[in-house]
Chains A and B, each alone.
Chain A
Amino acid sequence: MLEEMNILTNPNLATITGITDLATNIKLVQVQLDDPGVRKNFKYSPGQFAEVSVFGVGESPFGLASSSDRGDTIEFAVNRVGTLTEALFRLDIGDQVGVRGPLGHGFPMEDFKGNNILILGGGIGGAPLRPIIQTIFDHRKDYGKVTILWAARSPDLLVFTNEYDEWRSQPDVALHLTVDKATEGWQHDEGLITALIEKSKPSPENTITVTCGPPIMIKFAMLTLEKMGFQPKQNWVTLEAKMKCGVGKCGRCNMGGVFVCTDGPVFCFEEVKQFLESFV
């Protein structure tokens, strides 16, 4: 029998209810927890993650790409890059996985209220930022102007493209897209997200920034924001690391004395600025 309180080792069983293409080599996996009691109480905030098991293959951390306020379907984006994600790609609706979580600290949405929000998403890094966007839209009056700068290496790697119109339609929201390498018919910017940040000239006044993407993108985004007058304490990031236990025991995900899984994965940049080198 399972010792229910053992968050270190015991996943909840969940069944896949949807598995759709999100971008090239990226799928959106939707699951529902099997146990009705667990399903009802599985609440998480934007930025938290779960360790997802494909039994027999292993367990990996995935940022939760959905908002638990909107329903009990849990969504996460999967990039096919390794053993476990390869196994996830082969699963279908009705297959069972394990979901251990929610883990980590999410974004302090309450503290963000009253601010303008600048959201910087690079590639699949957009996935954990999506619930921020959803939460803001569900409580639109609580937040100021929202600027979303969404980037990817190429147009086929942009995530949640089918939601962009809905995002644009929200009041006082700007969405700008850029790709490193455009393809024929691309109508938006071409270039790195840092160029797009400079082009959109965000004001640091009363603004919180939220960034997720490849480590190199986070590094240069932070430098660019600093150049534009943003203080480290205005900038929030969510970081990725190789994880196993997800709860700060196995030692793997440390940056100095800080564990990405339990002290993060969401950090105020001021807290982790000194570790810049160790996560790039």
Chain B
Amino acid sequence: MKVTTQNKINEWLAGFLQKSVVIAPVETEGKFVYRQIEEYSQIAWDFERTDMPPKTAVFPMTEPILYIEQGSKTILKNPPLPKNKIVFGVRPCDARSMLALDALFINKEPIDPQYAHHRESVTLIGLSCPQMWDSCFCTVVGGAPNSTDGLDILITKVGDHYAVQTFTEKGTELTDKLISEEKDLAIPKPVLTENLPTLQKSGEWMELFNNIFWEELSQSCISCRACSFVCPTCRCFDVRDELTAFRPGVKEFERLRAWDSCTAAGYRRIAGGHNPRDTQNKRLRNRFYCKFAYYPDDFGPLGCVGCGRCIDACPAGINILEVITRVEQMTEREKVNG
């Protein structure tokens, strides 16, 4: 087992900081978020789960997709290629979420070149979870606190040392300077939360589409969209033109894409007023169905990695794990009743 120490990790990161963009978890106003850092001392090590996912490294909250200059002629330009980024301290669930996004943006035609460039530009260095935290349910959706899916490197704390595993060429090259020694070290299994429900397959969810449960659940939803904005797999986006510069005879615009959420009241409203998802019930139901039925049916992976951030973020107490549990119960009841 290749191992390293805290000091060596710090040196390693310091080395990257001299020539790369490094994004890592930092603590700001009591919350843990991923930010670009200037010094390794900024990194927060004592987080359980960050409040915002590292999704922003490949799918920013807002980003220009087109630059438009309108003068006597109209000139269009694409944004420049993104810089290479090291994303440090990625939890296994968040790494799996990148794979879920890849299934849509890269593996399904047409490829989204901008997302693909971002994806190529990042190196994901994971930090294993020694246990499942409150609200976590990664094991329900095919993940694990020590999952290696989607990571270039995974670092696991074992006593005074850190075990280092690499999974890609990029990862192996980068850990060259990191390793301090080979040690006979057993990585303890992470502590799993017990008594979690079994996720039903998309077919079972579809059977329950018209169940009154969804209407009851959505009574408290206020369409605040917090669930979508903290979610590592949500990817719905809006596109808008914004004026960025104005001088005689010339206007410059940015066409931006920005995070959006299907739970927003006007999400599907077309000009003229027609809105096929005009009630909270239809919208909230769509979000859960997208994650557990539509997304896997269309693209392969589930649209949820069990990070539990939405459970913490929802001001109305709507709990995705409770939803999964209820769906399991309702499905079992159907089977029993025949």
A residues sitting closer than 8 Å to B (CB atoms) are 1-3, 5-11, 13, 53, 55-60, 79, 81-85, 96, 98, 214-215, 240-242, 244-245, 247-257, 278-280
Pick from B4-12, B49-57, B104-112, B322-330 the stretch touching chain A.
B104-112
Contact with A along B279-320 (1 / 0, CB 8 A): 000100010011001110110000000000000000000000
**Interface pair B78/A56, CB less than 8 Å apart:** no
Assess the A251–B271 pair: CB atoms within 8 A.
Answer: no
A6 smallest CB distance to B (angstroms): 5
Chain B residues with CB under 8 Å of A85's CB are 271
Which residues of chain A have C-beta atoms less than 8 A from B282's C-beta?
278
Q: In whole angstroms, what is the CA distance A266 to B324 when docked?
A: 34
**Interface of chain A: mostly helix, strand, loop or mixed:** loop
| Chain A residues whose C-beta falls within 8 Å of the C-beta of B236 in the assembled complex | 250-252
| A84 vs B101: C-alpha distance when bound (angstroms) | 30
Instruction: List A contacts of B225 (CB < 8 A).
Output: none
Q: Assuming the A-B contacts A3-B78, A256-B294, are A58 and B268 also in contact, with contact meaning beta carbons closer than 8 angstroms in the complex?
A: no
How far is the CB of A105 from the nearest CB of chain B, in Å?
A: 13
| Contact A241/B270 with A6-B113, A9-B66 known, Cβ cut-off 8 Å | yes
Pair count A-B, CB < 8 A: 117
Known contacts being A9-B66, A248-B108, is A56 close to B276, with CB within 8 Å? Answer: no
For the complex, is B76 an interface residue (Cβ under 8 Å from A)?
yes
Q: B252 — nearest CB in chain A belongs to which residue?
A: A56
Contacting pair B239 A244 (CB below 8 A) = yes
- Interface status of B31 (Cβ within 8 A of chain A): no
Specify the chain B residue showing the minimal Cβ separation from A12: B76
Contacts of A254 in B (CB 8 A): 286, 290, 294
Taken together as a complex, chains A and B put the C-alpha atoms of A18 and B78 apart, in Å, by 29
Q: Which residue of A lies closest to B209 (CB)?
A: A256
Using a CB–CB cutoff of 8 Å, the interface residues on chain B facing chain A are: 65-66, 68, 70, 74, 76-78, 104-105, 108, 110, 112-114, 235-241, 243, 251, 253, 255, 257, 260, 262, 267-272, 274, 276-277, 282, 286, 289-290, 293-295, 297-298
In the assembled complex, the Cα of A247 lies from the Cα of B290 at a distance in Å of 17
In angstroms, how far is the closest chain A Cβ from the Cβ of B304? 15
A58 touches B240 (CB 8 A): yes
Across the interface, A241 reaches (CB within 8 A) one of B105, B241, B268, namely: B268
Chain B residues, CB < 8 A from A9:
65-66, 78, 114, 255
Q: A6-B113, A11-B76 are in contact. Are A242 and B270 (CB under 8 A)?
A: yes
| Interchain nearest-CB distance for B76 vs A (Å) | 6
How far does the Cβ of A97 sit from chain B's closest Cβ, in whole Å?
9
Q: Is the CB of B113 within 8 A of A8?
A: yes
Point out which of B77, B241, B253, B297 has the most chain A C-beta atoms below 10 A from its C-beta. B241
CB pair B76–A13 under 8 Å, yes or no, is yes
- Contacts A56-B70, A215-B276 given; 14 further ones with Cβ under 8 A? A2-B78, A3-B113, A9-B114, A10-B76, A82-B270, A85-B271, A241-B270, A242-B268, A244-B238, A249-B104, A249-B112, A250-B257, A254-B294, A257-B293
The residue of chain B having its C-beta at the shortest distance from the C-beta of A275 within the complex is: B276
Given the complex, which residues of A lie within 8 Å of B113, measured CB to CB?
A: 3, 5-6, 8
Q: List 17 A-B contacts (CB under 8 A).
A: A5-B113, A6-B78, A7-B110, A9-B114, A11-B76, A81-B272, A240-B270, A241-B268, A244-B238, A245-B239, A251-B236, A251-B262, A252-B267, A252-B268, A256-B293, A278-B282, A279-B276
A280 and B275 CA atoms in complex are apart in Å by: 8
Q: Which residues of A contact B262 (CB under 8 A)?
A: 251-252
A255 to B286: give the CA distance in the assembly, Å: 9
How far apart sit A2 and B267, CA to CA, in the bound complex (Å)?
29
Do B241 and A57 touch across chains, with their CB atoms under 8 A apart?
yes
Residue of B nearest to A255 (CB): B276
Cβ-neighbour of A55 out of B241, B267, B268 (below 8 A):
B241
Least Cβ distance of B238 to chain A in Å?
Answer: 6
Question: Using Cβ atoms and an 8 Å threshold, which residues of chain A touch B237?
Answer: 244-245, 249-251
Chain B contacts of A1 at CB under 8 A?
77-78
**A89 smallest CB distance to B (angstroms):** 12
Give the distance in Å from the alpha carbon of A253 to the alpha carbon of B268 in the complex.
7
Q: Which residue of B lies closest to A97 (CB)?
A: B74
- Minimum CB distance partner of B237 in chain A: A250
Let me know if B276 and A257 touch, CB within 8 A.
no
**CA A257 – CA B303 in complex, angstroms?**
12
A257 touches B298 (CB 8 A): yes
Q: Are A10 and B276 in contact (CB-based, < 8 A)?
A: no
Bound: A81/B270 CA distance, A: 9
Q: How far is the CA of A10 from the CA of B113 in the complex (A)?
A: 11
A278 touches B105 (CB 8 A): no
Q: A56 to B269: give the CA distance in the assembly, Å.
A: 21
- Would you call A215 and B274 a contact (CB within 8 A)? yes
Contact in complex: B271, A84 (CB < 8 Å): yes
Report which of B251, B268, B286, B290 forms a contact with A56, defined as CB distance below 8 A: B251
User: With contacts A241-B270, A257-B294 known, is A10 near B66, CB below 8 A?
Assistant: yes
Inter-subunit contact A58/B241 (CB<8 Å): yes
Name the A residues within 8 Å of B257 (CB-CB).
250
Measured between beta carbons, the chain A residues less than 8 angstroms from B66 are 9-11
For residue B267, which residues in chain A have a CB less than 8 angstroms away from its CB?
242, 252
Chain B residue nearest to A15 in the complex (CB): B74
Distance A10 CA – B239 CA, assembled complex (angstroms): 13
Residue in B closest to A95 when the chains form the complex, CB atoms: B74
Residue in chain B with minimal CB distance to A1: B77
Task: A94 to B238: give the CA distance in the assembly, Å.
Answer: 29
